Amino acid sequence: MCGIFACHHHPDVVSFKPKALQMAKLIRHRGPDWSGNFVKNNTIIAHERLAIVGLDSGAQPLTNEDDTLALGVNGEIYNHVILRHKSCSGYNFKTQSDCEVIIPLYSKYDIDCPNYLDGMFAFVLYDAVKDRMIAARDPIGITTLYMGRASTCPGAVFFASEMKALSEVCDDIMTFPPGHVYDSSTDKLTRYFKPSWWDASRVPTTPLDLTAIRTSLESAVRKRLMSEVPYGVLLSGGLDSSLIASIAARETAKAQQPVEAAAETLTGVDENGNLSGGGSWPRLHSFAIGLPGAPDLVAARKVADFIGTVHHEHTFTLQEGLDALSDVIYHLETFDVTTIRASTPMYLLSRKIKAMGVKMVLSGEGSDEIFGGYLYFGAAPSKEEFHSETVQRVKNLHLADCLRANKSTCAWGLEARVPFLDKQFLELVMNIDPAEKMITKDRMEKYILRKAFDTTDEPSEKAYLPAEILWRQKEQFSDGVGYSWIDCLKDTAEQFVSDEQFASPKASWGADVPTTKEAYWYRCMFDEHFPSKTCAETVMRWIPKADWGCAEDPSGRFVKSHQSAL
């Protein structure tokens, strides 16, 4: 990942430049490898780079030959090799960066250019000839992006990868919506991502195809191994991360096999879905974290031994977790209880991973939303409502698990890639008849995903996972790292928040009042970092689905169907 800060239509961009660079520095943790900036007319783009593809030549902002187009990108474009050979043929590329294809795509397709990208991204592009800026964010919002305005600078529009880079200069900040493109010539946001499943009222009827699920997810993982630096996998021992790790281990082993030398030096996936270029360790490395004896650590070790990864197990203490909370909230820019609970171990683990020289990891976010894997989905009254809830959960991922994965890792200059949110995989799975996904007496959560990778009836196919992992019940990450983690957070909040304080919420909070002392405690820490009301308005808190019997506490342990792993 990288960090972007940009401003368009500033009345005095030259005098503003030092402040702009100062704001970009606030997000340098996202891109510690290089800093660059572009200034022209009334526009500035500042970029903090994390180098993963095009190491020697991909410094940003990227420009065309006559510097009339300038681009700042945070993300990865997995189909850039295909685009270079097809849609962008004839363009004189200056770098081997996967992101440079956006410039010729803009020249050819204007604001429709994001539709041609397969990847995770947030970008700003300035057209000096038209004095026009466009900005776009990937379809699901895997990559973070914010947009701001300032009453002291009428007419100007600001963009940044994290809210903190806007909080000092903007008094109006919003989360840039996923799947949208902004055009300064109209000052409007337009949805470009319009998949067939987006309208939840249209209940899909496509029959189940288990083979298609398996091959599509394998393709999604293969794309995301596009890298010129060492990579690994986050392995909790749950179904989702374990499947991603198993597929990645297979693909990494394939990449080590001798292949005929080719003139093509670009790193990426070709038209046939083959991965070329780049590099990795001879064996995949996997990373797990938990309190000593945590259920996730035990399960992750079983998976690592089974699939043959070089496994790294890290433990943390309750006090280390508590000590990190304020920093976690600063990096996450949220006060949502669910997100903070799960992000703290991920934040601690990311620091360990980066210290080992790894810059990119694969992670399992998105599966529970797509397949209805949270235990409360077992109370869905009909397939129509089940489907509607999955669509809504996917639409909110950019404010929840995607935000957590992106910011927890980027805090240490580590990039997380999420195969379950691949566009093609989403199109396949979100169009399956939801009756196939429902939790029943004889079908546990995510049954069809488990069944797609159950090869017991295929003697020639090596098993992807041990049976006890493939059919292990869902554990939310904040539970799986050790149940005492959540208990400790609740107990500590009781010490920090008195009954009197809890009964008298701050007037500035308005109607968004914390309902537990733990939530109150997090909100206070958030306010210390981000006192502006507009900052708090970018936060979405997890709301329980009470009509399905969903408990107010987001921990999976409070769902009746949960079976303790301890």
pLDDT digits (tens, 9 = 90+) for 323-345: 999 999 999 999 999 999 999 99
Rounded Cα–Cα distance for residues 461 and 473 (Å): 24
**Together in a domain, 145 and 218:** no
Q: Which domain holds residue 115?
A: 3-191
Whether 249 contacts 487, CB under 8 Å: no
186 and 104 in a single domain? The answer is: yes
Q: What is the CATH number of the domain that holds 165?
A: 3.60.20.10
Residue 281: predicted pLDDT: 67
Let me know whether 381 and 412 are in one domain.
Answer: yes
How far is the C-alpha of 221 from the C-alpha of 470, rounded, in Å?
18
pLDDT of residue 421: 98
Whether residues 554 and 432 share a domain: the answer is: yes
The DSSP output letter for 463 is P
Please give the backbone phi and psi of residue 166, each rounded to the nearest 5 degrees, phi first. -110, -20
186 lies in a domain? yes
Q: Give the pLDDT confidence score for residue 566 in this predicted structure.
A: 36
Same domain, 187 and 220: no
**Partner residues linked to 3 by β-bridges:** 48
* Co-location of 94 and 220 in the same domain: no
Co-location of 413 and 279 in the same domain: yes
Question: Do residues 241 and 235 make contact, with C-beta atoms less than 8 angstroms apart?
Answer: yes
**Predicted pLDDT at 554:** 62
Q: List CB contacts of 209: < 8 A, sequence separation 6 or more.
A: none
Q: Name the domain count of the chain.
A: 2
Domain match, 495 and 451 both: yes
Q: How many CA atoms lie within 13 A of 159 on its CB side?
A: 33
Tell me which long-range contacts 199-205 makes (C-beta under 8 A, separation of at least 24): 200/387, 200/388, 200/391, 200/392, 201/388, 203/383, 203/384, 203/387, 203/434, 204/387, 204/430, 204/431, 204/432, 204/433, 204/434, 205/433
Please name the residues in contact with 261: beta carbons below 8 A apart, sequence gap of 6 or more.
Answer: none
251 within a domain of the structure (yes/no): yes
pLDDT of residue 104: 97
Name the token pair of 349: 């683990």
Instruction: Tell me the per-residue pLDDT of 233-289, one tens digit each, with 9 for 90 and over.
Output: 999 999 999 999 999 999 998 876 654 444 456 888 888 788 876 666 678 999 999
State how far the Cα of 559 lies from the Cα of 557, in Å rounded to an integer: 5
Instruction: State the 10-residue block means of pLDDT for the chain, 566 residues long.
Output: 94 96 97 94 95 78 96 95 90 92 97 97 98 98 98 96 98 98 98 97 97 98 92 95 97 71 67 73 89 91 96 96 98 96 96 94 97 93 97 96 97 97 98 97 95 89 93 65 87 97 94 94 98 96 84 60 46
Q: What is the pTM of this model?
A: 0.94
Q: What was the pLDDT predicted at 229?
A: 87
Residues with catalytic annotation? 2
- Looking at the fold, whether 302 and 368 belong to one and the same domain comes out as yes
d(CA 421, CA 119) in angstroms, rounded, equals 10
Ramachandran region, residue 507 (left: φ > 0; alpha: ψ -120 to 50; beta: rest):
alpha
Same domain assignment for residues 216 and 348: yes
User: CA 407 to CA 332: how far, in whole Å?
Assistant: 6
What tokens does 305 get? 């031994």
**What is the spatial distance between Cα 146 and Cα 382, in angstroms, rounded to a whole number?**
37
Instruction: Tell me the residue type at 370.
Output: I
Query: Domain for residue 200, yes or no?
Result: no
Same domain, 360 and 432: yes
Q: Are the C-beta atoms of 5 and 54 separated by less than 8 Å?
A: no
